Amino acid sequence: MEKENKNIPLVKTKTFINPENEKRSVTAPDGSIIEIDPIKDYFCQDRPKEYKVRSGAVEKFLNWARAESLWVLGFGTGCGSIEIPPLVTPRFDMYRYGVQMRPTPRQSNVFIISGYLSVKTLKRAIRSYEQMPSPKYIIALGSCTINGGMYWDSYNTINRLDHYMPVDVYIAGCMPRPEALLAGFAKLKELIKAGKAEKANEYVRNLDWYKANQKKIIKDWNMPDYNW
Amino acid sequence: MDYSITKFLWTLLGLFIVLNWGMLMSSTMRRIGARVSGRFGIPWYQPWIDLTKLYSLKSQVSHGAMFFLGPVFRLMGGVGIFLFLPIIYGSDHWSNYSFSGDLILILYFQFFGMLGMALGAGEGGHPHSAIGISRGLSQFTTIEVPMTLAVISLAIQYQTLSISDIVAAQQGGFTTWTLWTNPLATAAGMLSLLGAFGHSPFNLVKAPNEIPIGPPTEYHGVFLGVLRTNGAILHVAEAALFMNLFFGGATNWVELIVKTFLIYFWSVFVGTVFPRFRIEQSVRWFLKVPTIIGIIAIIIFL
Amino acid sequence: MEYIILISGFLLVLIGLWGILSQKNLIKIILGFTVFNTGINIVMVTVGYVKGKTAPILDVISPEEALTSIVDPVPQALVLTAIVIGLGVTALMLVYALKLYQDKKTLDINNFKDLKW
Amino acid sequence: MVAPIYIIAVALGLAFLLGLLKSSSTNLGSLLMLAGLAFIAFVSGQWLYEFLINGRATEMIFTAGFKPPFSINLRMGMQEALLTTMINAAGLLSGLYLIDTLKKTGINSMTVLLVFVMSLNVIVMTRDIFNLFVFLEISSIATAGLVLLSSKGNAFQAGMKYLIATGIISGLFLIGIIFSYLYAGSLNIDELNAAHIMDIKGGAIAIFIIYVSVILELKPFPANGWGIDVYTAAKPGFSALISSGTATAGLYVAYKLLPLGGETWLPYFTIIGAITFIGSNLMGTRQQNPNRLLGYSSISQVGLLLMILGLSNQLGDNTLFIAFSILISHYAAKAGLFWLSGIVKSQNLEGWAVLRKQPFMLFLFGTFIFALIGFPPFPSFFGKWQLIMELATQENYLWMTLILTGSFIEAIYLFKWLGFAIKLDVPSNIVMKFEWNKYLPVYLMALTLYVIGFYVSPMVEGGAFINYIPLLFVLALFALDFLPVFVKNTISIAGIIYYMVDLFSQLENDLMRQIFAVIFLGGAVLTLMAGYNKKGTRAGFYPMALMMFAGLTGIIEANSMLEFFFSWEIMTAGSYFLIIRGKRSMPHGYSYMLFSIGGAYALLFGFALAYASGLDTTIAALGHITQLTTLAYTLLAVGFMTKTASLGLHIWLPGAHGEAESDVSPMVSAILLKAGVFGLMLLFLYMGTGTEGGDKLLYVLGWVGALTTLVGNLGAVFQEDAKRLLAYSSIGQLGYILFAVSIMTQLGWLAGFTYTINHFMFKAILFLVIGGIVVKLGTHNMYEMGGMIKKMPFSFIAVLISIIVIGGIPPLSGFAGKWLFYHAIIQKGWYFQGAVIFFAGIIAFLYLFKLIHSVFLGQLKDNHRNMKEISPWILIPSYLLIIGIMIFSAFPQKILQPIGEMLSVYFPESLHWEGTKAYTSLGYWDGTTIMIVVMTAFILLLGWLVLMSKKIKKVEQFNIVYAAERPFRPETTHVSYNIYAGYKKAVGFLVTPVVEIFWDSMSALLFDFAGWLRRIYSGNMQNYALHVVLFIVVFYLIALGGL
């Protein structure tokens, strides 16, 4: 599915570089001068590649394993993040379903965008998402991620999450209760088991479009486009 | 000295059993923990699923060669302890490669994995990794003090450092266990075990929610899978070591399973009751009560 | 009689020493020094003196008599030498006093403590 | 043959002749004066030659044709000839040196100089006590006259003080003479000596007066303020003459008059000598003015010689040898130093750094300093050795202690001075101008020291066997110092390899020495290889390095204690120069030297006790010490422990090793420290077990070793400086070795050997590699490094392997040490020491991780981006050592079994081998199998990971999970500084620098005491006169007043 650029009005954007990240030069021990570009030098500049989606019995089994072992990144974005902690309480006990919290994106598969996403947080959310190993999934929680919800005309939040990040499952409501989240997980599991949750590849495929969208509202990129 | 293929296969089988028992043990412990807080907890087979998933993830980044080798070192640490440990007393098949060294070998082989992990995590470049390692090493220096004292006490008691001989000396019933013949050494050893297993209050290496999650912050996918594999093996192997030293060893797998479970449970039990120490508290604690117990355990033999 | 001279010789030595140790003026110290030297010379002469014998000068008495009648000549010879040396030393001291005076325009020895410790 | 009387005749004649010259014809005058001085030097030299070569009999010269007592007579014997030659040589050279000054001040001063030298000659030769007095006075007057060469105001003051004091003293001397004449009826010294004046009533007073004045002439502490000022104020050229000439003559006077009072008076000489020796040296520690410092040093040396005279009845036949060898060192060194001081023209010690502009003069300066302290190959070394040996046979421990203490205090200020000269910034306001007449005397005096040192060495028992070949090699390298590094390095390595081959043929049956030979010389080759990456000439490095290695070789080769000590001191000197080469090494080289000298004196004391026990000079004498056995062993152990840097004596090491140059650090750490280990092993082998004191000592040393390990390792944990960290680690490792050898079982020693070999290998690697990196990155601070693994992968592997060995992680060879340790400790029953050792062993992981993490892992710093791998010349030796480690790890039995067999001669066998498997009564270990198992398993597991891995994306340093932000800079992301803060909070109290505080307060105490004491030198000439009088009174009260 190819996204089109029409949806977003083209606006000339001016990038902003924090003085801290301006180019600077340092002196090496042997006296030579080294130019440092803090935005580029420290980071891997490569574009991501799509991974191969296999089929067959083994892959089906592995998909089942992926579905039954959902590791959620502990990253709360909006007011919805308050709905996540109850999931580990006896009342909801998401561990039963193989859903666990992980503290680092490197070890997580599932990213719950829990509610409204300010531009500032969006940048962080994108990075965290990009740092997660594939296959990875996004659950968008609450109305704000769908159309901005009560923040639809806010100057500082986004209205449609899937312009910026590929969403697997939307959970509507303001706010959805933990039960809805559990239902969301169930839905996600279904998708994974069916082999339909390959949005990570879609993100890679349409990376330019996503990046263009992201850059339209995020002015101060202080890292390269894609975060490994 | 048996280098035959048969021996190798038996050892591999033993490793497989230990790995699976380790995973089962960990899920059981987590279920117990869940029940304490009124939950169901994970399914008993969750570790296997997690492991499968980790091994089947599709993208992988690496910070460098040492980052890549770190998990291998770590796994080697766990496997090594298993290899050099006579896991079942009186069994040729399950004595593994324990003929190549005695208790000292195992005590020092623990560092193999620690060091490798530390280096691997270090190359990851994440500050939390380094902080976690520095805590882990700091704590480990003091964990080993009561352990060393206990080992010396055992060596005086049994006049041997060979694990098989120590187990042999404990055969003959419940009352001949070190637990009863040398309770102070056992106490020192079991207190040091709390630190070695790294459950609360001594879980400041990974320190969830504080420096999430310490050394393996950058590890993911296959790397994490290797680390988890190691965790399962290591826990059983270490528990088996304590079992051999203090609780009469095991003459069959069932005995091993029961005893290692209880030994491991001891640390989980303490962990569910106490909150986490700060590093200096932990260090001081190990240098106080367990060390004093260890010293007394030696003094009584003087 | 010899004892009186001997004692007075020693007394002079002590007076000289007292002068050296207590006077603040360099010239007075040098005077003390000469007194000290004189005392020593007197002591030396006295030690060599034998009661009732004459000076060891051979043109008055014959050499044969000399052995029994003159006092020991050696101390006298020594004293002569010592007086000469004392003269030399005193002269040098006075030169030094002069130099010191030229340097600092004073003769008070408390002012000459540039070198210490 | 020219009769000695011509010395006087020609000098006096010339003096009068000079007076006739016009005052403007200074050139002619100076020529005449020099000719005169040369002539009298020739006369005395000719006599010396006659006595030495032709064995001529002593000649008496009777003046005026009469025999004593009616005439003055002179004696020209061996001693007189020697001393007058020395005096005249000094006179001639001083005359040459002062020629400009003399020309400026006029002909009269030349006259005075001639008369002065002549008077000293007569003082030496005369056998008439009154004549002695006359010429003493003449020399005093001449001295006072020559002080005026310096036209500074303070020279007048000094001369005045001198005149007043000597006036009092000579007056006193006169009274003494007249009274002794009264009792003995003669002025001839020989007859006076034969007269037994002591037995006559009142005779004691006469003797007392003579002695007190003779001693006062030698400027005893504290009644010597007048003398010091002369040294300070006079022209250095003349001070040299006072120091070398007057002191020589004065001492000979004392020697001549010794029989006058007989043995009952000797102790007073000794006591006064000792007080002077120690007191003056104490004063020296506070001096800032080089001339004044030299003055104190001169007086202290005279005190030492006075002591030796006082001890002459105990030293017996050796008195003259001892006195001469110390005197000649003092003579040449002090003259040389004073002359140098005139060349440098600096009023403070710091200004001497200007010597660095002329390295050869610096070399001479070092020569003089080392000769004064008594380092080999200078005569004073042999003299001091013989002195201490003889004193020990007489059980004169108090004097031994005092002599060594005094010498130590002397070293304190002399080495401070030398350090200033070597390391401080070259002052721009001081210019050293080459004037041949000033430089030549200095050269000659230094040459004298070497020649005489070589000449006297065979006179000491065992000295004939000293192997000078390595030293000649060193000398050759000195000569070749202008060559580029590459050539010199090759020559050095070739020489060492040749010598090693040669050495091995001698050590066929001595495995222990073989092992140490490999460590010392093999290590030398490997560490020298790293030198190939240096450029330029590297002036002075090679002679010094080779000097250290020559010393180390000598230690192995030594059969006698003298050879051992000789080599030990050579090694110390060489290593001192190596260490002090580092940029910021001055204080550390200084403390290294002081600890080394302290240790060397402890060794000397111990050797002396061993010698005294059986008059045996071989090293085997250590095996049967009967005098103060425990003390002897303790002292020897302490002596060796200064080199192994054990607890309490370790504070020099971190700085010395940490600040040394990058390839010097491995030399001094991996190799030099093993000299101490070798010494300890030798000592313990001879000592054996079973003696009560010995066992107690071993027990204490065991604890010391354990605590050293703890302190060293803990110290390393909290270091931020990479090389200091390694240095502290060395302290810890040496603690292990000390502990291991103290166990005194086969297992313990095997552990000791394992640690020794391992430490040699891994510390060489670490210091080489880390040193190379430190140089390359331009910083010592680990927190300023990071991420080097990507730039320097080979270095990383080398360091990784080393730290695996240090940590004792199987399968590498470090584990062998740990395993042996556990078994040894449990067999021996040293449980708690063992627990401390193992605690320390685990602490090692903290610093090892810090080291490798901070340098190689973590974040790469911006300014290190373009770094390349360190020089292959550093990596090659490192990888050769790694091969060694690997072989040792895979086949430990190949090395440990022969060592075990060697040890089974000394200890009951507690370890046996079956194939590759080692058994003790406690357990077993099979290094080879472990290696195979671990390697196989590791490869399989690596295969597993590779198999499971997906396509790996290699990412950059900031591609980390950073709470979804980016790190600001590498510096803020690299966790290294104070990484063990929490640990410090918990156990930081253990690293309170108690030992440093102790030594600091000790030195503060010493300096404060010296500072308090020197207030007696108020500068007031009356006070000084009072001191003289009080000295007489106190001496009288003690000697005759029954006090």
Domain end point (choices D111, D127, D143): D127
pLDDT of residue D810: 87
- Report whether pLDDT(B207) > 90: no
Residues B121 and D821: beta-carbon distance below 8 Å: no
| Residue C92 forms contact with D (CB below 8 Å) | yes
pLDDT of residue D850: 92
Q: How far apart are CA D53 and CA D908, in angstroms?
A: 58
Question: Count of domains in chain B?
Answer: 1
Q: Is C78 in contact with D178 (Cβ distance < 8 A)?
A: yes
Domains in chain A: ranges and CATH: 69-217 (3.40.50.12280)
Q: Is A105 in contact with D964 (Cβ distance < 8 A)?
A: yes
Q: Which residues of A touch B216 (CB under 8 A)?
A: 107
Give the pLDDT confidence of B116-147 residue by residue, as tens digits: 889 999 998 899 999 999 999 999 989 989 99
**pLDDT exceeding 70 applies to what percent of chain B?**
99
Over residues B39-43, mean pLDDT: 91
Burial of residue B29 (CB within 10 Å: 0-12, 13-18, 19+) is: buried
Q: How far apart are CA B131 and CA B215, in angstroms?
A: 8
pLDDT of residue C69: 72
C-alpha distance from residue A206 to each of A10, A46, A126, B179 (Å): 18, 15, 14, 65
Q: Is A106 in contact with B218 (Cβ distance < 8 A)?
A: yes
Q: Name the 3-class secondary structure at A74.
A: coil
pLDDT of residue A10: 45
Confidence of residue C60 (pLDDT cuts 50, 70, 90): low
Q: Is B115 in contact with D849 (Cβ distance < 8 A)?
A: yes
Q: Which residues of D touch B75 (CB under 8 A)?
A: 941, 944-945
- Top-ranked range on mean pLDDT: pick from A79-83, D53-57, D339-343, D692-696: D339-343
pLDDT of residue B82: 93
Domain range spanning residue D755? 463-939
Average pLDDT of the residues of chain A: 87
Q: Which residues of A touch D662 (CB under 8 A)?
A: none
Give the pLDDT confidence of C12-50 residue by residue, as tens digits: 999 999 999 999 999 999 999 999 999 999 888 887 777
Give the pLDDT confidence of D670-685 residue by residue, as tens digits: 999 999 999 999 999 8
The string of DSSP codes covering B263-282 is HHHHHHHHHHHSPPPPHHHH
Percent of residues in chain C assigned helix, strand, coil, to nearest 5: 75, 5, 25
Give the pLDDT confidence of D621-641 residue by residue, as tens digits: 888 888 888 899 999 999 999
Sign of CA dihedral D624, D629, D633, D635: negative
B159, closest residue in chain D (CA to CA):
D922
- Report whether pLDDT(D68) > 70: no
Domain range spanning residue B41? 5-299
Residues D155 and D243: beta-carbon distance below 8 Å: no
Reported residue count of chain D is 1043
Confidence of residue C67 (pLDDT cuts 50, 70, 90): low
Q: Which residues of B touch A68 (CB under 8 A)?
A: 46, 49, 53
- Report whether pLDDT(D930) > 60: yes
Give the pLDDT confidence of D974-1030 residue by residue, as tens digits: 999 999 998 999 988 988 889 999 999 999 999 999 999 989 898 888 899 999 999
Residues in chain B whose beta carbon is closer than 8 A to a beta carbon of chain A?
30, 34, 37-43, 46, 49-50, 52-53, 56-61, 208-209, 212-213, 216-221, 224
Q: Which residues of B touch D985 (CB under 8 A)?
A: 279-280
pLDDT of residue D820: 92
Q: Is C17 in contact with D179 (Cβ distance < 8 A)?
A: no
- Report whether pLDDT(B42) > 80: yes
- Report whether pLDDT(A175) > 90: no
B32–chain D nearest CA distance, Å: 32
Over residues B50-55, mean pLDDT: 93
**pLDDT exceeding 70 applies to what percent of chain D?**
99
- Helix ranges (H only) for chain B are 5-36, 46-55, 65-83, 103-124, 127-158, 163-170, 178-181, 183-197, 221-246, 253-273, 279-287, 289-299
In a domain, residue D19? The reply is: yes
The CATH number assigned to the domain with range C2-111 reads 1.10.287.3510
| Residue A127 forms contact with D (CB below 8 Å) | yes
Closest by CA position to C117, among listed D218, D1020, D162, D167: D1020
In a domain, residue D842? The reply is: yes
Q: Between residues A5 and C104, which one has the greater pLDDT? A: C104
B215, closest residue in chain A (CA to CA):
A104
Q: Is B112 in contact with D810 (Cβ distance < 8 A)?
A: yes
Q: Is D956 in contact with A227 (Cβ distance < 8 A)?
A: no
Question: B: neighbours with 3+ CB pairs under 8 Å?
Answer: A, D
pLDDT of residue D693: 82
Residue with tokens 């499971």: D948
Q: How far apart are CA A99 and CA D704, in angstroms?
A: 57
- Report whether pLDDT(C61) > 70: no
CA angle at residue D521 from D518 to D526, to 5 degrees? 95
State the pTM of this model.
0.93
Confidence of residue D433 (pLDDT cuts 50, 70, 90): confident
Confidence of residue A5 (pLDDT cuts 50, 70, 90): very low
Among A32, A36, A223, beta carbon nearest to D966: A223
Give the pLDDT confidence of A81-116 residue by residue, as tens digits: 888 899 989 999 999 999 999 889 999 999 999 888
Q: Is C117 in contact with D286 (Cβ distance < 8 A)?
A: yes
Q: How far apart are CA D491 and CA B229, in angstroms?
A: 57
Q: Is A29 in contact with D958 (Cβ distance < 8 A)?
A: no
Is cis: bond before D811, omega within 30 of 0? yes
Q: Is A133 in contact with B219 (Cβ distance < 8 A)?
A: no
Confidence of residue B273 (pLDDT cuts 50, 70, 90): confident
Interface test with chain B among A44, A68, A73, A108, by most B beta carbons within 10 Å = A68
Q: How far apart are CA D120 and CA D91, in angstroms?
A: 10
Question: Count of domains in chain D?
Answer: 2
Task: Please give, one letter per residue, the 3-state secondary structure of D274-311.
Answer: HHHHHHHHHHHCCCCCHHHHHHHHHHHHHHHHHHHHHC
Domain end point (choices D900, D918, D939): D939
- Report whether pLDDT(D292) > 80: yes
Domain end point (choices D923, D939, D955): D939
pLDDT of residue A13: 55
Give the pLDDT confidence of D874-916 residue by residue, as tens digits: 999 999 999 999 999 999 999 999 999 999 888 998 888 988 8
Interface test with chain B among D928, D960, D974, by most B beta carbons within 10 Å = D960
In this prediction the ipTM stands at 0.91
- Report whether pLDDT(D66) > 80: no
Give the pLDDT confidence of D789-824 residue by residue, as tens digits: 999 999 999 999 999 999 999 889 999 999 998 899
- Report whether pLDDT(A2) > 80: no
D1028, closest residue in chain C (CA to CA):
C21
C–B contact: 3+ Cβ pairs < 8 A? no
| Residue C101 forms contact with D (CB below 8 Å) | no
Q: Which residues of B touch A61 (CB under 8 A)?
A: 52
